[in-house]
């Protein structure tokens, strides 16, 4: 690393950005962490009411823990799962307030652009030896240019949610009717309860965020029985959505799916699928959601929409840097094939570090949630190993940088979107016929749809995920079944 006298800039004081700071401090480097929020962990705070599916043992970073423990901190029970709020208050905040850490963290400081000193994206000469320059916009209106020897971008994606429109575009009328739309996971039984109690609520999405929102709405419905819950998805592969059940090594993650399945089976959540949202139209105090179904256009009248359709990285601020991104995921190029949800549906991924995260721009790395681009399966344990490896590389410890080790709990899910095929050879059970009769439909009637449900896992050797013969960390198959 050149310009060693300059600090290493870390963008974002989320769990992974703070872990990067811990590894830098442990290596004798000076981090300078910029956080756009008015406190650390701003993104995690926005879902502080959500219980994580990972227990504490998978949500803390080794260097961060070492520093905390040197001040007498005690690890919460390893097997218990924290909420987002617990993660901030019991782990991230105590770390950020350590005397050797706190002066390195700058709050209310948004990084709006990153470049090299006097060198724009096109210029080659002197590029690698020039310091980075970060343009910082502070909440009080000040702006500053700060120099750094290297940049670790851990700014996450949660604050850049995908829109409602099914093709990745904002739906017609989405912005105009934004007062009816919540992006993320609202605090349904807390701060936002009046917004959803006894209302017709549509949850759009098929990942853990959607499932969390559905479960909370179902709890709310116990106290407010008029609450109606619609679950809108583009796809029909319910097994993938429900997860690996008892094959999932994280019981809390498995329960998300199994509890949702039970609520659907009991008729408390009504599935509308496949339904591709295209337009939102105001209808008095409610809204009409227009979407495409296999039988043509259909309209569903609701009061509120919860959009949990994933998130995407903010690449604007990196416009002057030379990046090599996966063309579909917007992750780093090498990481793309390892996490592509078109192929892999699981939260597990082969160990990776500096080499897979490298960009043509020397000494610049995207880590954490943002390193996965639009892929939804990021886990904190992955991010912690990423920053350990990246920091080792920055200080020239290439042996440690290459020695990436990551053991992640299997999800037990073996499905893929590819033509409905399964990467592990899951077999289909009887498809379930779901009645949509009770849904208030205006215009073209929604017909009952057949949702493909897969049952018992059968890890076949035709499994494309396992072609490499590695004990798969992407689809849950054993090496033996791929030999």
Ligand X SMILES: Cc1cc2nc3c(=O)[nH]c(=O)nc-3n(C[C@H](O)[C@H](O)[C@H](O)COP(=O)(O)OP(=O)(O)OC[C@H]3O[C@@H](n4cnc5c(N)ncnc54)[C@H](O)[C@@H]3O)c2cc1C
CB of 155 to ligand X, least distance (A): 4
Question: What is the nearest approach in angstroms of ligand X to the Cβ of residue 317?
Answer: 6
Query: Long-range contacts made by residues 336-340, C-beta under 8 angstroms, separation at least 24?
Result: 336/373, 338/474, 339/372, 339/375, 339/377, 340/375
Q: Among residues 257, 353, 368, 373, which is the contact residue for ligand X, using CB under 6 A?
A: 368
Return the structure tokens found at 213. 């929102």
Asked whether position 424 contacts ligand X by CB under 6 A, the answer is: no
Closest CA to 253 of 93, 376, 423, 383: 376
Q: Which stretch, 11-19, 117-125, 217-225, 418-426, contacts ligand X (CB under 6 A)?
A: 11-19
**CB-CB neighbours of 73 under 10 Å:** 16
Q: Does 217 contact ligand X by CB under 6 A?
A: no
Stretch 27-66 residues interacting with ligand X (CB under 6 A): 34-37, 41-44, 47, 50, 52-54, 58-59
Residue among 380, 430, 375 nearest 408 (CA): 380
Beta sheet of 296-302, edge-to-edge order: 276-283, 286-293, 296-302, 441-442
Residue of 419, 306, 323, 418 lying closest to 362 (CA atoms): 323
Token pair 């870390």 is found at 10
Residues 330, 378, 387, 475: which binds ligand X (CB under 6 A)? 378
Among 24, 101, 154, 203, the residue binding ligand X under the rule CB under 6 A is 154
Is position 317 an interface residue for ligand X (rule: CB under 6 A)? yes
Interface with ligand X (CB under 6 A), residue total 38
Selected binder of ligand X within 159, 259, 350, 471 (CB under 6 A): 159
State the minimum distance, in angstroms, from the CB of residue 156 to ligand X: 2
C-alpha distance from residue 216 to each of 212, 261, 269, 306, 475 (Å): 6, 14, 11, 12, 29
Q: Which is nearer to ligand X, 50 or 436 (CB)?
A: 50
DSSP classification of residue 323:
-
What is the distance between the alpha carbons of residues 221 and 319, in angstroms, rounded to a whole number?
Answer: 46
Closer to ligand X by Cβ: residue 253 or 358:
253
CB 53 to ligand X: min, Å: 4
> What does the binding site for ligand X look like in residue numbers (CB under 6 A)?
11-17, 34-37, 41-44, 47, 50, 52-54, 58-59, 110-111, 154-156, 158-159, 185, 209, 317, 368-369, 378-380, 383
């Amino acid at each position: 690393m050149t310009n060693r006298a300059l600090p290493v800039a870390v963008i974002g004081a989320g769990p992974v950005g703070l872990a990067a700071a811990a590894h830098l401090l442990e290596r004798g480097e000076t981090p300078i962490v910029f956080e756009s929020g008015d406190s650390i962990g701003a993104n995690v705070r926005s879902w502080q009411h959500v219980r994580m599916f990972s227990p504490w043992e998978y949500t803390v970073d080794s260097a961060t823990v070492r520093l905390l423990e040197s001040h007498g901190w005690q690890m919460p029970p390893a097997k218990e799962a924290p909420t987002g709020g617990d993660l901030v208050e019991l782990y991230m905040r105590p770390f950020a307030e350590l005397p050797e850490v706190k002066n390195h963290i700058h709050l209310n400081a948004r990084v709006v652009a990153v470049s090299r000193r006097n060198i724009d994206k096109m210029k080659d000469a002197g590029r690698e030896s020039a310091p980075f320059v970060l343009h910082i916009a502070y909440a009080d209106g000040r702006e500053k240019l700060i120099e750094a020897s290297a940049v670790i971008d851990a700014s996450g994606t949660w604050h850049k949610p995908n829109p409602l429109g099914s093709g990745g575009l904002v739906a017609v009328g989405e912005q105009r009717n934004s007062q009816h739309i919540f992006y993320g996971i609202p605090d349904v039984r807390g701060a936002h309860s009046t917004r959803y109690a006894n209302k017709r609520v549509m949850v759009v999405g098929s990942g853990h965020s959607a499932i969390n929102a559905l479960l909370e709405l179902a709890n709310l419905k116990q106290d407010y029985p008029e609450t109606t819950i619609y679950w809108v998805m583009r796809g029909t592969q319910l097994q993938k959505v429900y997860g690996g059940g008892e094959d999932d090594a994280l019981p809390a993650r498995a329960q998300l799916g199994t509890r949702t399945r039970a609520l659907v089976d009991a008729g408390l959540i009504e599935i509308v699928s496949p339904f591709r949202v295209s337009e939102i139209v105001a209808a008095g105090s409610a809204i009409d959601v227009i979407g495409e179904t296999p039988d043509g256009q259909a309209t569903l009248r609701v009061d509120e929409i919860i959009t949990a359709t994933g998130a995407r990285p903010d690449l604007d601020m990196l416009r002057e840097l030379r990046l090599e991104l996966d063309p579909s995921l917007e992750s780093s190029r090498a990481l793309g094939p390892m996490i592509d949800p078109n192929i892999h549906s699981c939260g597990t991924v082969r160990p990776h570090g500096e080499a897979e995260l490298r960009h043509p721009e020397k000494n610049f790395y995207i880590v954490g949630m943002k390193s996965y681009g639009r892929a939804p399966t990021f886990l904190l344990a992955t991010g912690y190993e990423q920053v350990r490896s990246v920091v080792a590389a920055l200080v020239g410890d290439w042996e440690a940088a290459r020695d990436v080790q990551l053991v992640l709990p299997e999800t037990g899910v073996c499905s893929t979107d590819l033509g409905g095929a399964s990467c592990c050879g899951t077999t289909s059970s009887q498809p379930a016929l779901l009645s949509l009769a009770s849904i208030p439909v205006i215009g073209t009637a929604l017909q009952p749809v057949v949702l493909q449900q897969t049952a018992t896992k059968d890890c076949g050797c035709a499994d494309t995920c396992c072609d490499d013969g590695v004990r798969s960390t992407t689809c849950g198959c054993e090496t033996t079944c791929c030999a």
